[in-house]
Amino acid sequence: MTKLKINGLIDEPNYEKLKCTCSKVQDDILNKHPLKKCLSCYCKIAIDSMPRKTFEIILKDKKGNTETKTISEITIDRSEEGLQMVRGWKF
């Protein structure tokens, strides 16, 4: 596995300025992880769930033939304004 080329990374996205507001109260089960995440944690999970290494996908055509394709480059889909959070990524 080699390093994935990631387009659209930015050094200090605005969401990093958010402070975590998740409940730290031990018995407050409904308001803390994993049931509830604050916006700060939500943005971090979004970027952490993005792949960092090349990966393979299996493509299938109409005849049912499969082909394995290695993905070595992805582009981040990010909200341009506001928090600049990662909404997803495409290849």
Q: Which residues bind Zn ion (CB under 5 A)?
A: 20, 22, 38, 40-41
> Residue 41 or residue 46: which is nearer to Zn ion going by CB?
41
Q: How far is the CB of 37 from Zn ion (least distance, A)?
A: 6
Q: How far is the CB of 57 from Zn ion (least distance, A)?
A: 32
> Residue 9 or residue 45: which is nearer to Zn ion going by CB?
45
Please tell me the distance from the alpha carbon of residue 36 to that of residue 52, in angstroms, as a whole number.
26
> Residue 40 or residue 54: which is nearer to Zn ion going by CB?
40
Q: How far is the CB of 46 from Zn ion (least distance, A)?
A: 13
